Structure 1
Amino acid sequence: MPKKRARIEIIPLIDIMFFLLASFMMVSLSQVHMKGIRVNLPAIVPPTAQPTATPDPRDHLSLFIDADGVVHFDKEVVTDGDVMPRLLALYKGNAKVKVFLSADREALHGEVMKLLDRVRSAGIEKVAYEIKIKHGAPGAPGTPNAAGAPGGAPPPPPPPAPTP
């Protein structure tokens, strides 16, 4: 009577190898630390009460923050306490209102983020940032760009070859 040879089962071996691979991946990913600059991010406080406001039917609004943190609604200075009621009135008058947000170069980032948070908490979803294009900067419209760089004008075509 021939003796049965022992055979190695490969399927359980593959299962164990995948389990070990997944375990090592999880352990190695948990030990990776994000390296970057530590920053103190601005804190925002969500509004607790929604004041009542009369509807404002405009379809867009320009918001501006000057260097001192003063908010301007279409060139009109607004106190800090009047910002939220005015935004709610704007949203109540037109739910699809667009807000164009701009800030002075010297305005604090935290003040801009606080105003953006107020705009969002009023229910306004369409927000655009107004910027000033610095002509001559790489990528600015009308500026020759580096090979293949996005933005700017395409490089001029080469001059035609002289004919003999």
Structure 2
Amino acid sequence: MKILSPVPEKKGRIEIIPLIDIMVFLMACMMMVNLEMIRMRGLKLNLPTAQTATPENRSDFLTLSIKETGQVFLEKEEIDRAALVDELKRRKEKEPNLRIYVQAEMNTLHGDVVKVLDKVRAAGIQKIGFQVKEEAPASGASGLSASPAPTPGLHP
């Protein structure tokens, strides 16, 4: 014998729209966190552009920035050129495969860059890359010259 209930029987169902809202929110949060993780650790400089630059963001490198005035920054902290070799040697002892990405402003003197590279080599670091901005492809319709893309890249 079947007992009738005054409460109507309902089948359970999964509401899809709130699930989609939550998934879109989580995806947006993940994208924002990812963008923060690939932020460059060097200074914001006016980097030269190169057509063959390829975007590359890695977390296992040190960024050495050289400003137009000749100031040297290691990971956004200004460092004296005399202390640069000792600091790089200390960091190389902790990380034997230490890599340096050098970024210099477009109008930095070549001599300043060479002096800093000499200090890096004196510290025993052999893996050195240069950061440049990737050049945007030229638009054929407008006839204007291409402006540099904001994405920094590695140009070995």
Q: Normalization by structure 2: what TM-score? A: 0.49
Q: Normalization by structure 1: what TM-score? A: 0.46
Greater strand percent: which structure?
2
Select the structure of larger CA radius of gyration: 1
